[in-house]
Amino acid sequence: MATEMEELVSFLSSTSPQITKAAVDIVRGLTGSMEGLQSLANYSNALLPALSRLLTLPKEVSEAAAEALVNLSQNSSLAEAMVGIGLVKTTMDVLYKPECSIARLLVMLLVNLTQLEAGAASLLQTEDEKVHGLYVMKLVRSFCRTSHESNDDAFEHVGSILVNISKQRKGRELLLDPKRGLLKQIIRQFDSNSSLRKKGVSGTIRNCCFEAENQLQNLLLVSEFLWPALLLPVASNKIYREQDRLKMPLELGTALSIEREPVNDPEIRIQALEAIYLIILQCLCGGDDNGDVISNNSYRDISDCRGDGGSGGSGGGHDNVVVAANGGDVGVVGGDGGGISCEGFKSLWGQLSPLCLKWICPYSGGDEGGISGGDGGVNSNDDDSAGDGVVVVANGCSVVVTMTMVVMVTVLAVAVVVATKGDQRFYLNLGVGNMYVTRFDQCNEAGRRAFWSVNGPRIVQIGYEDEEDPKVMEAYEQLGSLLVHSSSAEEPPSDTTK
């Protein structure tokens, strides 16, 4: 004998419009609670196809079905099942029918489905080269053409979809394809008054910047729109002096010559700063073997790999950075004397081992701050805390170790380890509480030059002075530390302060 829930689901396929409407209204109500969602999830095999079919019916039925699907899709298992039955295609087909009256709900459904890798791939149509990108092009066109000044902005959530698909390399490549011109259209929506649109655009730009290493030129093709979208949110609301604006392109200088509304959302400011960081320097830890974004940060917290051992150097100054080549040791002792564990170090920086380091483990220096290693190791008994360094050669890769303290505004950079191979340079940076590996190459030289050319460092400096949010300040400091390290590669503009 059928249970009440089974009967309810079966009524969704009734030939009677009244029964169908009553049933879908009940289902929609159940999806509004966790208990109801769990009850319906047990019947997903019949429930999801039935709700999918109802999307094509008149609004009084399709709206309730769409709301139910949006709520159900918050469950990752149910969302995966929806993708499996082809709901992405069904949603797009219904969305672009002339008589569609539930566009906003369908876009919200796509947001949830594209959070899954399979859902993003389905929207990108990666399996069919003939139509690859067609759905995304339609959504971008609707995103850019619809009015964003009204309260009924049916396509404002497209920005969130673009963030989701740009987490995948194929999505970023599609958006950065200069022949399609999608990124240029998307960036121009940053002028919208809708915070949701702004956040979607900002997040999409930030994700696309993970391709800066390979597609920097395509990013810079839209620099006329890119730099204002990235720099204005972090420029504070001050009116800039003429001396500063003369070094900027017209689109930036004009905007900074008048009073303007600040970007109050700290997430947008952080995304902008991270995007600038990635343009200047593409981090090694920014992606996995498939090129997909695996972390929202370009660094790992130092506490993830801190050990119990390690002693400081003498003189009350900085502790030692130790590198020994050809099977020797690499150790970093932080300013508080805490060592970094071997296993944590191996896990975090194993990407460097193919280049120059056989293996990595912690070093505990004595009071003299000695440096020791295995074959090819070097020794030093410096008793001061000056910026000394050593240069060794390991497996055909020159390694430069420097100990330095650099202050830019209030940015503190504690140590830099540089490894070079061919035309690539790798930096292991220990900032205040952060560790991250970065790589410079010829492509990224162009990124830094482009940033200097718009007087970007000056804008970041002024924006940092007015920033109050701790998390945003941390993003400023991470970028500032990188600018300090790269200043030798690009001559900074002359100081314009009075």
Q: What string of DSSP letters covers 421-446?
A: ETTEEEEEEEESSEEEEEEE-HHHHH
Across the 498 residues of the chain, what is the mean pLDDT of every consecutive 10-residue run? Answer: 86 95 97 93 96 96 97 96 97 96 97 97 93 96 78 90 97 96 95 92 96 88 95 94 94 93 94 94 42 35 33 34 34 36 42 35 31 32 35 34 30 36 43 38 66 94 95 94 66 42
What is the rounded distance in angstroms from the CA atom of residue 77 to the CA atom of residue 291? 25
Give the structural domain span for 423: 300-440
pLDDT value of residue 371: 26
**Do the domain assignments include residue 401?**
yes
**Do the domain assignments include residue 177?**
no
**Do the domain assignments include residue 331?**
yes
pTM of the model: 0.69
What is the rounded distance in angstroms from the CA atom of residue 141 to the CA atom of residue 136? 9
Residue 482 is encoded by which pair of tokens?
A: 């990188």
**Do the domain assignments include residue 345?**
yes
Q: Which one-letter DSSP state was computed for residue 492?
A: P
Yes or no: say if 90 and 119 are a contact pair by the CB < 8 Å rule: no
**Do the domain assignments include residue 402?**
yes
Number of separate domains in the chain: 1
Give the CA distances from residue 473 to residues 268, 285, 295, in Å, rounded to whole numbers and listed in that order: 13, 22, 20
pLDDT value of residue 146: 75
Q: Which one-letter DSSP state was computed for residue 58?
A: -
**Do the domain assignments include residue 387?**
yes
pLDDT value of residue 160: 97
**Do the domain assignments include residue 466?**
no
What is the rounded distance in angstroms from the CA atom of residue 164 to the CA atom of residue 2? 40
**Do the domain assignments include residue 320?**
yes
Yes or no: say if 475 and 464 are a contact pair by the CB < 8 Å rule: no
Residue 125 is encoded by which pair of tokens?
A: 């149509």
